[in-house]
Structure 1
Amino acid sequence: MFRKLVLAALVTALVFTGLLYGTVWFGFYEGNRPRPVGAPTPRPEGEGWIDLLSAENAPNWKNLKSDKELFTVEDGVLHIFGRSVASLGYATYTGQPFGDYDLHLEFRLSPPPRWSALAALIFNAQLRCNSGVFLRVPEGESPLRGFEVQVLGDHGWPPNKNGTGSIYDVVSPMFNMALPSGEWNSYDISLRGTKVTVTVNGWKVIDTDFAQMTMPIGKFGTPYSELPLSGLIALQDHGGELWYRNILVRPAAGVEAAEIIPAAAL
């Protein structure tokens, strides 16, 4: 009986602490403050853009990790089923590596199950629909050898280094510009050497230079100044169903798809 009472007290304390931190505390300081309102940017037009979901390029999306069917590409939409819960899965574009380029894409997240939404509310945990855009992934290696721009169903939460538009676990966005689950969002990402900008739903939220990051940051053991300057693009399956469309790449003027060269070698 005593053990049950102690366990109940611990659970109650955890729930209360989570609610205080995740809702009341945030709401008291941020809830009534004006925040920017974004909207998805349209599909880019003009010369130089490569549509990675065109009928010609759609077959280049592969699951390189296993034979498991993780996604489909139909009518210009890449649908990730969200089956990779215990282990991460990836839809990787194998057509060619890219070095310096502009990337536009749009994504729509499915609402999470009610129980996971409640747990996320209490503990501010990443139990909502979760994915990521991995860039400059070395051919033949794990997408984790590139870097990730996080995709997360965290509309209304404060910006953080694991939230929408972040460079995962390394750089926090200025604002969390995520729209509610079920609505289309846009990313416009620019890569020039070690410089990276991220624009979410029309708002530039990150403008950073990996050259400054000469020591490991967050959970990653490799300094970001040493990341490859060219590589593949991959989309993560982290157990949440979602859809991507209008994935377009425009190589920087005068720059073609290049060899994968580590920044440290330059």
Structure 2
Amino acid sequence: MLRGPVLICYTRCMCRRPQARAAGNGRNLVGSRAMTRRPFRALAAVLALSAMVTVCQAAEPDRYKMTVWKDSLRRGGSYFTMRAIETADLAKPAPTIATMAPTLNYVASVGANTVCFNLHGLAGNGDSLAPECVQALRMVVGQTTWRRMGLICRVFGPDAPRHFAWRLKAARAAGAALKDDVRVVYWIEGERCAELVEAFKETAPDLVVAATEGGDVRVVREVPKTALDVPALLVGAMPESPKTSSIHFVLPDARESYEAIDHAMAHPVELEPWTPDNSVLSVEERDAGWVALFDGKTLDGWWIAGMNQKGFAAEEGQIRWKGGGGSAIMTRNRYGNFILRLEWKLETTGANSGIFLRAPRDNRQSKIGMEFQLYGDSGKPPHKNGTGAIYDVVAPLENASKPEGEWNELEITLDGPTMKAVLNGVVIQDRNFDDTEELKYRLRTGFIGLQDHGHPASWRNIRIKEL
């Protein structure tokens, strides 16, 4: 059931193979050469899911590798602050998309960016970790990093034996089994915790460990009153300003946790009253229940997700892309079932943008919600990354886009699992997401966003009718 997403991950790894060859170790190089000698179809037919996830991780070892630099946590080359919710059983043996995707997508929808799960499969005498549980962890890693989310693995869950001798032996076994799984932060607690960390790191020196003592990250139960010389992981609570705080945190899997993160991570625009300016609509549209999402003059009712808060602007009756770093401009409200109408324009051949639908607040909007692809490819055959595609999954029935520089009229209807898209009067998508494994677990409610992909793009006459 996981084959589709994992194959996508494999394809991306192959695209980056030269980079992996430069950065990887000898074993990774051999693996990459082996992949190039085998036809892709043969790999897809022969390799098990776990092997494909492992190939993906080996070919791209550093992109999501967790490291600590001074008092900061880094993922790959970027600083990363973990905002986690406990999902204790996520890595139980034999996980599937049906068990993983809804949980991961729900966590992302509120603005959390990390899942925290228990390690399963340590032997009764503590001397080994079951291979099927290592496999399960790696499947979770693959699905989580595909969504650009982080992971915390609690090595000793609440039901693990507490006596020191068992935990010492189990720490060594876990470290030996997981030494190559560098995309995870490992949480270790117990009596003489520093010794447990040392045992874990005997064979896994490259792994990042969070612990009450002796770890790369300090586990705390209250916000430190003075600055620490290592990152802090706050358990059971959030810092006062989680959007700007460098303190990592993990909350229990409870409705109150999701609500607290959702409120704390909300953009100020989401918390302010907003009255749509429906004067830009016709009388017929207003009577039919349409609402103007854009008043043609201001960005009222929108918020910019990225660091560049000037990345989009309202000009001449349009929302215009103005420069990189804005990520996307998002609606104030979330929407589930609706009809969306707008006009869009790209200026140049090869320009890239998109419209996020039912998108989460954080993480990879195009794979947790979805992206309706906009591309400067008029006159070209339809494909899964071209205009009108459900990005990287489903090609449109037809490429009905007008030449670059001209305005396109678009209507998208989302109603439960069904989607219909009409571009310039031509039906280009008409499908049921439940018929496509990769789409059936995507969010059914979320933000609408206009994407910053580094190319000039414009949108106008944006209105919505909720169903």
Instruction: Give the TM-score category using the shorter length.
Output: 0.5 to 0.7
> Is 1:232 the counterpart of 2:447 in the alignment?
yes
Deviation at 1:142, TM superposition (A): 4.3
Distance (whole Å) between structure 1 residues aligned to residue 327 and residue 362 of structure 2:
15
CA distance in 2, matches of 1:139, 1:239: 20
Where in structure 2 are the equivalents of 1:92-171 lying within 5 Å? 92-93=330-331, 95-112=332-349, 128-144=350-366, 145-171=368-394
Q: Structure 1 length normalisation: TM-score?
A: 0.64
Deviations 1:1-55 (A, max 9, x none): xxxxxxxxxxxxxxxxxxxxxxxxxxxxxxxxxxxxxxxxxx8852211111116
Cα distance in structure 2, aligned partners of 1:245 and 1:88: 18
Shift of 1:60: 2.1
CA distance in 1, matches of 2:359, 2:298: 18
Please tell me the residue identity of whatever aligns with 1:110. Answer: E
Instruction: Give, in angstroms, the shift of residue 227 of structure 1.
Output: 1.0
Change (3 A) 1:56 1:241: closer
- 1:71-86 matches, within 5 Å, as 71-81=312-322, 83-84=323-324
Provide the residue aligned with 1:63 in structure 2: 304
> Following superposition of structure 1 onto structure 2, how do residues 1-266 of structure 1 map, counting pairs within 5 Å?
45-46=284-285, 47-54=288-295, 58-81=299-322, 83-84=323-324, 89-93=327-331, 95-112=332-349, 128-144=350-366, 145-214=368-437, 223-252=438-467
Runs of 4+ in 1 over 4 A off after TM superposition: none
What residue identity is the alignment partner of 1:69? K
Moved more, 193-202 or 56-65: 56-65
Q: 2:297–2:316: 8 Å Cα contact kept in structure 1?
A: no
Deviation of 1:167 (Å) = 0.8
Separation in structure 1 between the aligned mates of residue 404 and residue 316 of structure 2, nearest angstrom: 22
Deviation of 1:80 after TM superposition, in Å, equals: 0.7
Instruction: Please state whether the residue corresponding to 2:334 is helix, strand or coil.
Output: strand
Q: Relative to 1, partners in 2 of residues 1:237 and 1:67: Cα closer, same or farther, differing over 3 Å?
A: closer
Instruction: Tell me how far apart the structure 2 counterparts of residues 50 and 74 of structure 1 sit (CA, whole Å).
Output: 20
Letter in 1 for 2:328: Y
Structure 2: stretches of 5+ with no match in the other structure:
1-280
Q: TM-score, normalised by structure 2?
A: 0.37
SS at match of 1:96: coil
Give the structure with the higher percent strand: 1
Distance 1:229 1:56 in 2: 30
Task: Give 1:89 shift.
Answer: 1.5
Greater percentage in helix: 2
Cα distance in 2 for partners of 1:67, 1:153 equals 24
2:202 is matched with: none
CA distance in 2, matches of 1:176, 1:49: 28
Q: Which moved more, 1:138-147 or 1:100-109?
A: 138-147
Pairwise CA distance, 1:75 = 4.6
* Partner Cα separation in structure 2 for residue 209 and residue 165 of structure 1: 16
CA distance in 1, matches of 2:358, 2:441: 12
Counterparts of 1:55 and 1:156 in 2: how far apart (Å)? 30
- Structure 1: distance between partners of 2:381 and 2:317: 32
CA distance in 2, matches of 1:100, 1:76: 26
- C-alpha change, 1:143 and 1:80, in structure 2 (3 Å) is same
User: Which 5+ residue runs of structure 1 have no aligned equivalent?
Assistant: 1-42, 113-127, 215-222, 253-266
The one-letter code of the counterpart of 1:206 is: Q
TM superposition shift of 1:212: 1.5
Q: 1:56 to 1:49 in 2, by over 3 A?
A: farther
Q: CA offset at residue 76 of structure 1?
A: 3.1
State the alpha-carbon separation in 1 of the partners of residues 441 and 320 from structure 2: 32
Separation (CA, whole Å) in 2 of partners of 1:52 and 1:58: 9
Partner of 2:440, secondary structure, is helix
Please give the alpha-carbon distance, in whole angstroms, between the structure 2 residues aligned to 1:156 and 1:67. Answer: 33
% of aligned pairs identical? 34
Shift of 1:175: 1.0
The amino acid that maps onto 1:90 is A
Aligned-pair CA distance for 1:57: 7.5
- Report deviation, 1:139: 3.4
Rate the CA distance shift 1:241–1:57 in 2: closer, same or farther, 3 A: closer
3-state DSSP class of the match of 2:401?
coil
Q: Cα 1:243–1:56, aligned 2, differ >3 Å: closer, same or farther? A: closer
CA deviations 1:98-127 (Å, max 9, x no partner) are 110000010111125xxxxxxxxxxxxxxx
Deviation at 1:141, TM superposition (A): 4.7
Q: Determine which structure has more spread, i.e. the larger CA radius of gyration.
A: 2
Q: Give secondary structure in 2 for the equivalent of 1:211.
A: helix
Query: Structure 2: how far apart are the matches of 1:88 and 1:67?
Result: 5
CA shift at 1:146, angstroms? 1.1
